[in-house]
Structure 1
């Protein structure tokens, strides 16, 4: 084993190298593939060898907007194999295949009691990292998982037969399921999902499971074609059609009962508010950076249109979300179909560039260290 990680009480499954490659954030729009030390683990912690990590839009916003200090290693949609366990770890063993949540709430504070887990102070602490300030760390060869993440349910075993790529979707599916549950959709309702990137398709697919009629809008026919493989059969071509008008046409002039905004473009908030019926709900899912956006306050007050937000995952639906992903691999919810690009870790900068400039042919971008 490597002397870099040879800590008393640690159990290893293989020889751990002293160093690894990682995509290190050094400043705004500055990510570099560097050689860094493999993180050491202590008592109650585990070391995971990363097999697959998805690039999330939130990672990209942090890289491009400079909202976080440097240096850091991002990446939080992580699946891999446990290669080392620290002293006092009894519920996990080396060799197990797992995915990991980088946030886990305390479950005791005021926000947790109100099931607003993403606002919990403990939840806002990141418990997974690959060096520097813990920031997910999945854009690296190995990640260290801290004790409270393990103790409080943040590490999830991957069943046999489910590939790492599918398991890496457990965290984003949880976030989408949380948003869908917030709207309490009914079978007689019509839902519009604006944007059919990977997150938009996940939101629309989960909304479809409620029995509601689901409309989807996007600029790219290629994305609608992928959405169709998930049973989404009411596409709106946002290049040539009036999205709000189409929503009204589909609902006897009322407008959609609920609208998801799955694109981080604030101008689309107005489109969503125009498309939703009086008394309906608009949920912002992609507006994950603070700033200013304008909407019609009369639409909220007089038309009683509700403007809501949903951010990050929810621990109370963790088992349900994971089971959706794991069972779905064989039962019509194969999320690997959303993957358009796979990059080895040494090409992580290129992967981030592709993910940052979405095109008709780009969907989910994965970084896979051993690809």
Structure 2
């Protein structure tokens, strides 16, 4: 099979390797589409440090083409269309055993998965050998839509971490794919959504996806506008979907008493952010982190997309064939798109 391998910063190319042989307790998936996440973009540009050679790709849709003898043949069949996820948790530690696979003690993007020649998540390969625990059925949509179920699953986890309630006012900072998915889910949970971004075109998209208000912080003072919109109460929940350290400090000015600040994105560079602990204490502020998703999140995300509850087509910016993997990454790292997707 062919596999796309990172060999250095801004160097990626196809290599031939052995197709994984199905094992008794594993499923072989032929990959149809894999989206390029910001995480892989940062590997490509050298922001995320990995040991080369490395195989990226974790937003994956494909078909089951072989199954081991121990696989439940009632539940799984050759030809099942599946999204692949939750492949990196150990599934044995305290956190995994309590339903928090997304926070696995041994979560490792650079694990060496079974059947791959190098470390990495492996989605940028023609085939992937996985446990049936890590596949989730989908239907009614194309593989290029299905492969971005993974980001939706992460946003489901984020929105539920904040426990958004009917009537809440929610501020979402950043109108990339993650900010817009937060917008859709929070609006459907009955919240009034405010979206902040410096890109006017993306603010228009946010409005079309359910944002009641939009703010360009280059043109208006964010905290003053939030106070104005909420009659001085400010936002009950804020999702920071940007990697910018200074934006974290901005959230402190926009959060209401007993409000929740969710740090959804990883921060680059990871600089300390100062805050007043007495303010957190006296106003009952919650500062929350969220990353990744678990089986429950994935199952519901696949169901929502399959049934058309969430339309993923607006987030497909470009589609490249596997042979043009280098061009796909060069386009993705321009940061002017939602998802660039590679098809096999």
State TM-score, norm by structure 1: 0.83
Q: Paired residue for 1:334?
A: 311
Alignment match of 1:325 (pick from 281, 298, 305)? 305
Measure the CA separation in 1 of the matches of 2:328 and 2:100. 33
Stretch moving more, 292-301 or 336-345 = 292-301
Q: Paired residue for 2:18?
A: 37
How far is the alpha carbon of 1:129 from its aligned partner? 6.6
Measure the CA separation in 2 of the matches of 1:249 and 1:133. 53
How far is the alpha carbon of 1:108 from its aligned partner? 5.9
5+ residue gaps, structure 1, are 1-18
SS of match in other structure, 1:93: coil
Matched, 1:350 2:342: no
Matched, 1:229 2:208: yes
Structure-2 change in CA distance of 1:289 and 1:237 (3 Å): closer
SS of match in other structure, 1:308: strand
Alignment match of 1:366 (pick from 334, 341, 344)? 341
Alignment match of 1:57 (pick from 26, 31, 38)? 38
Q: Paired residue for 2:116?
A: 131
Measure the CA separation in 1 of the matches of 2:267 and 2:8. 19
SS of match in other structure, 1:222: helix
Structure-2 change in CA distance of 1:237 and 1:130 (3 Å): farther
Structure-2 change in CA distance of 1:228 and 1:66 (3 Å): closer
Contact 1:262/1:286, CA 8 A, preserved across alignment: yes
Contact 1:49/1:80, CA 8 A, preserved across alignment: yes
Structure-2 change in CA distance of 1:357 and 1:297 (3 Å): farther
Measure the CA separation in 1 of the matches of 2:22 and 2:92. 27
Structure-2 change in CA distance of 1:250 and 1:68 (3 Å): same
Q: Paired residue for 1:116?
A: 100
SS of match in other structure, 1:94: coil
1:84-99 correspondence runs (5 A): 84-91=66-73, 92-99=76-83
Matched, 1:167 2:146: yes
1:168-187 correspondence runs (5 A): 168-187=147-166
SS of match in other structure, 1:65: coil
Question: After superposition, what is the alpha-carbon deviation per residue over 1:254-302, rounded to whole angstroms, capped at 9, x for unaligned?
Answer: 2211110111111210111221123211101111678332132344234
Stretch moving more, 310-319 or 262-271 = 310-319
Contact 2:138/2:306, CA 8 A, preserved across alignment: yes
Contact 2:138/2:303, CA 8 A, preserved across alignment: no
Structure-2 change in CA distance of 1:219 and 1:33 (3 Å): farther
Matched, 1:25 2:6: yes
SS of match in other structure, 2:54: coil
Contact 1:261/1:284, CA 8 A, preserved across alignment: yes
Measure the CA separation in 2 of the matches of 1:289 and 1:129. 31
Q: Paired residue for 1:304?
A: 284
Question: After superposition, what is the alpha-carbon deviation per residue over 1:185-210, rounded to whole angstroms, capped at 9, x for unaligned?
Answer: 11121001111111111111111111
Aligned residues: 339
How far is the alpha carbon of 1:122 from its aligned partner? 6.2
Matched, 1:193 2:172: yes
Contact 1:71/1:132, CA 8 A, preserved across alignment: no
Question: After superposition, what is the alpha-carbon deviation per residue over 1:315-335, rounded to whole angstroms, capped at 9, x for unaligned?
Answer: 23333222222112xx4x211
SS of match in other structure, 2:60: strand
5+ residue gaps, structure 2, are none
Question: After superposition, what is the alpha-carbon deviation per residue over 1:147-196, rounded to whole angstroms, capped at 9, x for unaligned?
Answer: xx31xx3211222x222122212221111011101111111210011111
Contact 1:218/1:236, CA 8 A, preserved across alignment: yes
